[in-house]
Structure 1
Amino acid sequence: MPSLPEGTSGEGPLALSTHASTVTAEELRDRLVATIGAIEIDAANVESVGQAVLQLLLAARNEADATGRPFAIVNPSQPFVDRVRACGLAAPLGLVEEEFPA
């Protein structure tokens, strides 16, 4: 049986790449699909985030909600927060505006 990608066993958050883009989206998708239980995304090191990754995060959030699993984005970097806000996705992704002032 193949091993799960790193970060999928519930031992910690899935870390987003520094430049989370279309190039890294397929790996993220695979990691999200393999995740069992709560989905926790660490966005601490993100310097830029593209549309493909944002779409995956939104889909993961919606799937988590539909299946009753927790979903959280932790340690979001300022560039991540800025991009999510600019796209109008703060609330849909569960980022509480008061926690991340402009």
Structure 2
Amino acid sequence: MPKPYDQAEDRALRLPSHGTTVTAEDLRVRLVLCSDFDGEMLIDGSQVESVGQAVLQLLVAARQEAITHDQPFAITNPSSAFVERAKACMLSAALGLDIQGESVQ
């Protein structure tokens, strides 16, 4: 069983199944480390069952930072729970999620 933030072979940072304020600090550190690599910043959201405001805020900030430094950023395979929470918080566009079949860059 993979650990919550394991980096897969494709270097995607895997979000935990339950992203809470408690897990946000570890995520912040891993996002900073991930941003130090050249290339696309991939965040795997496939295992997310619940995601809190602190984690969403970190992801929005990470995406903005990536955009500022011309580094591609993508949340790959977001779970339906992740997508629904992002939509409820009106953060789909800020997270770059493809909600209506159109990619948001």
TM tier, shorter chain? 0.7 to 0.9
User: Structure 2: which 5+ residue stretches go unaligned?
Assistant: none
Q: Percent identity?
A: 52
Contact 1:13 1:41 in 2 (8 A): yes
SS at match of 1:98: coil
1:5-63 CA distances to partner (integer Å, 9 max, x unpaired)? 8529x842100000011111111111111111221100001000001100000000000
**Contact 2:44 2:76 (8 Å CA) reproduced:** yes
Counterpart of 1:44 in 2: which secondary structure? coil
Q: Is residue 7–residue 31 contact of structure 1 (8 Å, CA) maintained in 2?
A: no
Gaps of 5+ in 1: none
Q: Report what 2:19 is aligned to.
A: 20
Secondary structure at the aligned position of 2:100 is classed as helix
Q: Could you say what the CA RMSD is over the residues aligned between the two structures, in angstroms?
A: 2.0
Contact conserved, 2:6 with 2:14, CA < 8 A, in 1? no
Segments ≥4 residues shifted beyond 4 Å = none
The TM-score, its normalising length taken from structure 2, stands at 0.83
Alignment correspondent of 1:91:
93
